[in-house]
Structure 1
Amino acid sequence: MEILFVLGFFLMLLLTGVSLLGVIAALVVATVVMFVGGLFTLVFKLLPWLLLAVVAVWAWRYFQHADDRKLAALRRKISRLDRNSWR
């Protein structure tokens, strides 16, 4: 269907007196505009999934290192107790 539209567009421009170079330039510009518009649409549709992936990675890293943070806090408490016991 899209091929028929492009061919019809091409023929109508030629029939209205636009040169072949103008037709090709119009097709190139239309292709670039549609490509860029499609990329923005794709990013807009994927944005919630990208945000979900970022949050999932952050949560994974946070909970992976939660035990390390608890262990470090425990070691600080023990070292404070050791320093206070020598006084």
Structure 2
Amino acid sequence: MEIVFVIGFFLMLLLTGVSLLGVIAALVVATALMFLGGLFALVIKLLPWLVLAMVVAWLYRAFTTPQGEAKLNRLKRKIRNLERNEWR
């Protein structure tokens, strides 16, 4: 379907009096802009997943290192105390 757009774009530029060199330059510039726009849109679309992966990696490192295990044990103790006190 995109090839129909490119052919139509090519023909319209030729019919309006733009030279063949100008048409090819316009196609190259349009292709580059669409490529960069597509990459930008892909990054925006994947951004929440990238942030989630960073958070998971941070949590994993925070609780699997020796200091992290101490933090995890403190957190478990706090949860046990809250459960014992019925979350009051």
Could you tell me the percent identity over the aligned residues?
72
| Cα deviation digits, residues 5-46 of structure 1 (max 9, x gap) | 100110111111100000000000000000000000000000
In structure 1, the gaps of 5 or more residues are 71-87
Query: SS state of the match for residue 42, structure 1?
Result: helix
Query: SS state of the match for residue 43, structure 1?
Result: helix
Highest Rg: 1 or 2? 1
Q: 1:19 aligns to what?
A: 19
State the TM-score, normalizing by the size of structure 2: 0.74
Instruction: Tell me whether 1:39 sits opposite 2:49 in the alignment.
Output: no
Number of matched pairs = 69
Instruction: Tell me whether 1:61 sits opposite 2:46 in the alignment.
Output: no
State the TM-score, normalizing by the size of structure 1: 0.75
After the TM superposition, which segments of 4 or more aligned residues of structure 1 sit over 2 Å from their partners?
none
